[in-house]
Structure 1
Amino acid sequence: MAHPAFRAAAVRVRTPATSANLGPGFDALGLALGLYDDVIVRVAESGLHIDIAGEGADSLPRDERHLMVRSMRAAFDILGGQPRGLEVVCANRIPHGRGLGSSSAAICAGLMAARAVTSGGEARLGDEALLELASEIEGHPDNVAACLFGGFTVAWSDGGSVRAIRLDPSEAVVPVVFVPAEPLLTETARGLLPRTVPHVDAAVNAGRAALLVEALTRRPELLLPATEDRLHQEYRAPAMAGSVQLVGRLRAEGVPAVISGAGPTVLALAGGGDADRIARLAGDGWAANRLELDREGASVLPVTGVSR
């Protein structure tokens, strides 16, 4: 493959927050949310310069260790070669370590930006290959599929390849997220999962995950039973007792509530008229935010007008 040519103009990529699992759909189901990170990338003559504002500004590395930069490098390798230098400006709004897909947003932003600054990038790295690479970097496809494609996604592996389909969630569904002050590492949450689960629990989750596809797209009145989980939330309770308790309190009130991804954020899938009331149910210690559903996924936008 010939060494690629790079565009002189900067590109801007916007990536949405995501919530994975949605209760029973462990490592398979994802939902894109209307909370966004923005990144502007320009190919430079030499070096690597990273500017970060917002979430992670005081903690994220500003060198080759940055997850978005590592993702860009992986994409450039596939696209035919590395640029001489890069200038990167990040405006981060997705909370880190809260189960809202901040790592997937960074990965997808890096891959999309690398493709966008490379002449002929889309022909060399199509959407299916982008999903494959993002899943490889992230380790599982649920968040990255929703981040890339928007809406409600179902992702799976088939013969070693990753696949995903996108569905339109019902417009009656309004996400409300309850974000705690303290983060939780995904590795910590995953480390609490057992190697095996009872057959009856697996059977319940399979039925609920199937029901959730219908409930989230066409019959939101079924969301409460459809979001029941027996595979991961209770096992993770020792690392996020307050989150699991909040899920229980909300569900007792008839609210379809789940742990968002690996937690500790709690996601409620409200009806439009109930969203503001539900946002007031958590009490102290939680930042409750009513969000829109994102239906576009990761996108390349005009560079002007990025707010920090």
Structure 2
Amino acid sequence: MKIRIPATSANLGPGFDSCGIALSQYLSIEVLENAAEWKIIHSLGSDIPSDATNLLIQTALKVAPDLSPKVLKMTSDIPLARGLGSSSSVIVGGIELANRLGNLNLSQKDKVQIATEMEGHPDNVAPAICGDFVVASYVDGEVHSVKHHFPMCDVIAFIPDMQLLTSESRSVLPTSIPYKEAVQASSIANVMIAAILNGNLPLAGRMMEKDRWHEAYRKNLVPHLEQIRLLSHEMGLYGAFLSGAGPTVLILSPEEKTDEMVRKLGKLSISATIHVLSIDQEGIQVF
């Protein structure tokens, strides 16, 4: 059995802790054989545990405590601590591992609920499970989510070589904002979502760049965002925004302009990896 979970990008600017998309980078987990104790074969670095202390196994055992140990193989092309849902993909993978090995028959709604309770918010885990574009809320312990088709475009990921932990990026956010500003922030998010539903990427992109919830507070941690946004405007692309808590920036691009934008991004003085991704429409897959 092989489980594949997509990378995700949360927020899309003003959809803070609520909106997310699934992307074409993946975490894969393969069940190899029975074992006396849990073992994970991977080449993801010494910081990632290879035993039952791994987040994947910890998650699976929270969902199904009586699972018998296995030897697993884990591979991933989702970069760690870059705002592309690396930890969320592991949590989602652990839930699916428990679901399959424990014969739990969890529904998609069940999985989103469990994953959100573990993660604290649904913006990454919901699209990892469902695929495509998902809008979700987590209020009074209950998760509500809606999946919709995201309009066709290339998604250019500018991934700086530096890590930025979510905890650090969250620490710069205010504990409250004025009521009038919250109303404006909410209206921007509403128009952004409606534009996506209508397939209007030019308008959606403009709204993504008008976020009032988080990007302004994080700009000192991600100075490259403004550079990339200016470049995106010069090129006539749809929009650029922080992926999750950063430092990755995503740029929504018409296919015919992508190659030139990638070349220009490559000339910036910031050490980074650049990937051209697409929207993953399926979410978690089991083979």
TM-score (norm 2): 0.92
Q: How do residues 208-227 of structure 1 correspond to structure 2 at under 5 angstroms?
A: 208-217=188-197, 218-227=199-208
TM-superposition CA deviations, 1:162-198 (whole Å, max 9, x none):
1211001112x22111000011100000011001123
**Closer, same or farther: CA 251–191 of 1 in aligned 2, 3 Å:** farther
Q: How do residues 68-107 of structure 1 correspond to structure 2 at under 5 angstroms?
A: 68-77=56-65, 81-83=66-68, 85-107=69-91
- Retained in 1: the 8 A contact 2:192–2:205? no
Listed as ranges, the gaps of 5+ residues in structure 1 are 1-10, 302-308
Are 1:202 and 2:182 counterparts?
Answer: yes
Are 1:127 and 2:105 counterparts?
Answer: no
Residue 15 of structure 1 and its aligned partner are, at CA, apart by 0.4
- Retained in 2: the 8 A contact 1:247–1:266? no
Paired residue type of 2:34? A
Are 1:152 and 2:133 counterparts?
Answer: yes
Of 273, 278, 286 in structure 2, the residue corresponding to residue 287 of structure 1 is 273
Residue 231 of structure 1 and its aligned partner are, at CA, apart by 1.4
Of 143, 164, 167 in structure 1, the residue corresponding to residue 145 of structure 2 is 164
Instruction: Look up the match of 2:14.
Output: 24
Residue 42 of structure 1 and its aligned partner are, at CA, apart by 4.6
Q: How do residues 1-308 of structure 1 correspond to structure 2 at under 5 angstroms?
A: 11-42=1-32, 44-53=34-43, 56-77=44-65, 81-83=66-68, 85-119=69-103, 121-122=104-105, 125-171=106-152, 173-217=153-197, 218-227=199-208, 228-251=210-233, 253-255=235-237, 256-282=239-265, 283-284=268-269, 285-301=271-287
Distance (Å, rounded) in 1 between the aligned partners of 2:12 and 2:172? 18
Paired residue type of 2:251? A
Q: Which runs of 4+ in 1 moved over 6 A?
A: none
Distance (Å, rounded) in 2 between the aligned partners of 1:147 and 1:251? 30
- Partner secondary structure for residue 26 of structure 1: coil
**Closer, same or farther: CA 257–157 of 1 in aligned 2, 3 Å:** same
TM-superposition CA deviations, 1:121-164 (whole Å, max 9, x none):
21xx3222211111122121110001000000001024321121
Residue 212 of structure 1 and its aligned partner are, at CA, apart by 1.6
TM-superposition CA deviations, 1:213-237 (whole Å, max 9, x none):
2322311121232212121112112
TM-score (norm 1): 0.86
- Partner secondary structure for residue 166 of structure 1: strand
**Closer, same or farther: CA 236–63 of 1 in aligned 2, 3 Å:** same
**Closer, same or farther: CA 132–276 of 1 in aligned 2, 3 Å:** same
Between stretches 278-287 and 89-98, larger displacement belongs to 278-287
Listed as ranges, the gaps of 5+ residues in structure 2 are none
- Partner secondary structure for residue 27 of structure 1: coil
Number of aligned positions between the proteins: 281
- Retained in 2: the 8 A contact 1:148–1:297? yes
Identical-pair percentage:
31
Residue 300 of structure 1 and its aligned partner are, at CA, apart by 0.4
